[in-house]
Amino acid sequence: MTNADYPYAGRFPVHRTLPERGTPREDVLAELRAMAAEEDAFWETGKCSGTMYSGDHEHYRFLTEAFGLFAHVNVLQRDMCPSATKLEGEILAMALDLLHAEAVTDTTPGGLVTTGGSGSILHAMLAYREHAAARGLTGVNVVKPETGHPAFDKACRLLGMELRSVPVDPVTTVVDPDRMAAGIDDRTVALVGSACNYGYGTIDPIGDLAGLALDRGVGLHVDGCLGGFILPFGQELGYDIPVFDFRLPGVTSISADTHKYGYAFKGTSTVLFRDRALRDAQYFHLPGWSGGKYMSPGIEGSRSGGLLAETWAAMVQLGREGYQAYARDIFSTADAMKAVVGAHPELRVMGSPTFCFSFTSDAFDIYHVADLMRGRGWRFNGQQYPNAIHMAVTRPQTQPGVVDAFAADLAEGVAYARTMEAAGKQAFSGAIYGGVPGGMSLEAEEFIVSVMDDMLDVELSVPPGP
């Protein structure tokens, strides 16, 4: 065990039982303010990949006030809180509009607000399974590119669906539609394409996948969790971003996270359906329960109205003009950072990415670069197969000086990597989603389990004495 296993144990009380007497509110808030200020200082430098999409404390204060007005409300009780119907409905209407649901003329589109990208993907997969089951089709499968988010694998495992993963082109980092076609059979209910994928920031050939889905009579889910609220504005700004939304007839569902480039707080996302009948297939009904007739449109039951309020507030306050202005800054910053990487012959950007990108090296282990840059305050996410460094550009990177710092520190990192490679040294950094540092000294699954155990269970024990 290390001191890092027990954060703040040396500074603040450690609670293993409820305190005998309650702590004064101001003392509680003072402790929280101290932790928040120190942790904010880490990402405020702009050296953190992804994670903090807005980075604007004035915006956060605005959302906090909106959240606080409805934080105590359970949106299940619409008779007491009719505002939830307005807020949720308008969030979905705005998201559907952004992703061109007006192009759908043969069905009526709809959607759900969920708790995040994984929740949206889980609900989409549930909808496809249940819609198939209503037609008598069981034992179904989904075909996705290997770069598709692990939430698809998780959803299929939880729902008892087969997940078929298709390799991507190692140069373009996108999937070949012919290889996707080879994975389809009479029990396939949906294909998956990313716009864009998390790993490389590249967009699968959604147009081709949509045509394939139509030809084979299966659904196509576009994972726009990362790109759904920024790529449309990139298109408006003239960037070479292909159509990926409901303008393509074969696209039957899209996930898009409001808590990423929608600039809402963590805890909301949208999953949108070309046809409400597909969405409605996942509804849960239990009319014979002794507690009353029960129905839930999604997996969650109780939800805080605050999440709907702050998400709605973010979207309405920013408007198209605000979103487009932020997109302009992010795309131009991403272009500048990719140019910095391209100036080093030892490095190469993978594929043709958008606002987030990954880079690797054929000359040395790229994790040596990550090691040096961690010491300069950078927090990257590591990729594997091949090893690569991932950078998701968000608003904190658009502040003055960040690109210059990236250029200077990357140059040092490349020089350091050359030295370490020549000396036969092993890099410390590893490819752990979410940025957990450390090398892979154990077998991968054992290591991941140990990391999870540390996060969940170590704090249950009393910190060791001095």
- For every one of its 466 residues, what pLDDT tens digit does the chain have, with 9 covering 90 and above? 455 678 898 899 989 899 999 999 999 999 999 999 999 999 999 999 999 999 999 999 999 999 999 999 999 888 999 999 999 999 999 999 999 999 999 999 999 999 999 999 999 999 999 999 999 999 999 999 999 999 999 999 999 999 999 999 999 999 999 999 999 999 999 999 999 999 999 999 999 999 999 999 999 999 999 999 999 999 999 999 999 999 999 999 999 999 999 999 999 999 999 999 999 999 998 999 999 988 888 899 999 999 999 999 999 999 999 999 999 999 999 999 999 999 999 999 999 999 999 999 999 999 999 999 999 999 998 899 999 999 999 999 999 999 999 999 999 999 999 999 999 999 987 655 544 444 444 456 676 677 667 666 776 666 665 5
Domain ranges in the chain?
70-314, 320-451
Say if residues 58 and 74 touch (Cβ distance below 8 Å). Answer: no
Q: What are phi and psi of 166, to 5 degrees?
A: -110, 130
User: What pLDDT shows up at residue 187?
Assistant: 98
Angle, CA 245 vertex, CA 243 and CA 251 arms, to 5°:
115
Say if residues 143 and 183 touch (Cβ distance below 8 Å). Answer: yes
User: What pLDDT shows up at residue 430?
Assistant: 60
Say if residues 132 and 179 touch (Cβ distance below 8 Å). Answer: no
User: What pLDDT shows up at residue 442?
Assistant: 47
Joined together, the tokens standing for residue 136 give 């008598």
Is the Cα dihedral 337, 342, 345, 349 positive or negative? Answer: positive
User: What pLDDT shows up at residue 193?
Assistant: 98
Angle, CA 394 vertex, CA 391 and CA 396 arms, to 5°:
110
Residue 91 CA to residue 87 CA, distance in Å, equals: 6
User: What pLDDT shows up at residue 249?
Assistant: 97
Neighbour-count burial for 366-379, b at 16+ CB within 10 Å, e otherwise: bbbbbbbbbeeebb
Looking at domain 70-314, which CATH architecture does it have?
A: 3-Layer(aba) Sandwich (3.40)
Query: 379, 360, 352, 397: which is closest to 437 by C-alpha?
Result: 379
For the chain, the farthest-separated pair of C-alpha atoms sits apart, in whole angstroms, at 72
Residue 415 CA to residue 413 CA, distance in Å, equals: 5
First to last CA, the chain: 12
Please give the C-alpha separations between residue 386 and each of 306, 313, 350, 422, in angstroms, as whole numbers.
42, 41, 10, 20
Say which CATH class 320-451 falls into. alpha beta
Cβ within 8 Å of residue 132, ≥6 positions away: 138, 140, 189
